[in-house]
Amino acid sequence: MFRNPVLPGFHPDPSVCRVGEDYYLVTSSFEWFPGVPIFHSTDLVNWRQLGHVLDRPGQLDLDGVRPSAGIFAPTIRHHDGVFYMITTLMEEAGNFLVTATDPAGPWSDPVWFPETRGFDPSLFFDDDGRAWMCGTREKDGKRYDGDTEIWLRELDLATLKLVGEEHVIWEPVQRMGIWAEGPHIYLVDGRYYLLASEGGTAEDHAVMVARADQITGPYLPNPRNPILTHRHLGLRYPITSTGHPDLVQTQDGEWWSVLLATRPYGGSAHGPATMAAVRAESGYNLGRETFLTSVRWEDGWPVYDMVGFEMPGPALPAVPWPADPSCDHFDAAALGPVWNHLRTPREPYWSLSEQGLTLALRPESPTEWANPSLVARRQQHQDFVAYTVLRFDPAGAEQAGLALIQNDQFQIRLFRSVRGLELVRRAGGEDTVVATAGVAGERVFLGVQATGQDYAFRYAVEPGEWRELGEPLDGRILSSTTAGGFIGAMIALYATSNGTPSGNTATFGWFDYRGL
């Protein structure tokens, strides 16, 4: 048995490939840098992060990218000793791919496809040695937002350029259906199968499949579509938004699928009856997560098992990886792969030493579409606790501390300023100071504990002498149902001089995160 999600927290749009007995998986990263986290497994259940595919500023320009833009829906494939990752940099740059012979990197600089538009590109390597690229775009002369089609064109592997005629091979199955997206093509028993999702990436998400005798079509839909959806189960079902899958066959012949789904929590199962009320009383703070389910074949079509929390696992030897320490003392040569920057860092504003993580104060703030002095990791549990110790002597408008961030408009910040400690709730772009405390000396301990949607903040001047700061805050502002967008909440350590130059620094001695 295994437990879903296999990658908890903000890990949407998973794509997977197998090389021998090893499996590699990538997910979207949007405005966060490095881009495209990459994971390794030998059993499809236990994953360890190798790093990121796009880990150099020259590979990924996120300057000024709006929240929930940036990197959309990567696809990873392996062919003839080479790994390929193809994705989209929204909203203007377009589709590109990078390659590597080692999935841990280094990966190449991007190869761009300026003649394409749209998003969610994928690659297919045929048995005859030819390669193909497909993707999603809104139609010319679209009748409504999300009126999409899936296109296909051959890729010359020698030049990494698209060649030949373009073929439009698919549009939504459902009448007036939206966002036929996340396309992947597979060759199974001599037939080509096109897997795609539609209905949008929220509660109406649904997976469709079609097949053809030739790669270019015509593709005929499965009469039993959708082959996977939870939209008919209602908003109170504990797993929603199932979709954007990718298939993989094990070395033993089993078929499995990774996919995204969400876990709404925080509301009552017997609360208000309207959809708006149900959404309002719960949230998706963890974002869209990576789930796993089994697939079998009947009458020449894939059949998905319902996605549950506890499911029978693959017939592969279970290989759990050693657990990482809950506390990061920042004493390694580089930040661990769990840490992320908000947009592309253009200068090294952070350093690691025996004293911990030191951030240089810069004018940029987490409330801007900028690259502030900030490092963050994903919230991966509904119930968690996080602690840190800060050494900081502020001046003027400077502040440094702990933040929970959904985007620039919705966040909670616990920070030190010249006024002492301040707890600020930011909703709709407006800051509200909800609690303050006076502290003496440079050192202060900061903490947050989430129990469902209640986020309680505390501090200490001396080790172990914790004090609550204000009342627990309603954490639903950290949910995409409130804040919009596609990501999950991030827990950040940050420092800012708020628009003025500064030579000051803030040092975080350690950071401890534990699921409860």
Residues labelled catalytic: 13, 181
User: Rounded to 5 degrees, what are φ and ψ at 150?
Assistant: -110, 130
335-491-7 Cα angle (round to 5): 80
Rounded Cα distance between 308 and 303, Å, is: 15
Rounded Cα distance between 430 and 444, Å, is: 26
What is the number of residues in the chain?
Answer: 516
Omega before 314 within 30 of 0, i.e. cis? no
CA 193 to chain CA centroid, Å, is: 26
What does 196-255 look like in DSSP terms, one character per residue? EEES-SSTT-EEEEEEESSTT---EE-TT--SEE-GGG-TTSSSEEEEEEEEEE-TTS-E
With a CB cutoff of 8 Å and minimum separation 6, the contacts of 97 are: 84, 85, 86, 87, 110, 111, 113, 121, 123, 160
DSSP code for 354: T
Closest listed residue to residue 400, CA positions, set 443, 433, 432, 435: 443
Rounded Cα distance between 336 and 164, Å, is: 44
Residue pair 151/137 in contact (Cβ under 8 Å)? The answer is yes
Closest listed residue to residue 6, CA positions, set 221, 290, 270: 290
Rounded Cα distance between 186 and 196, Å, is: 12
Decide: helix, strand or coil at residue 309. coil
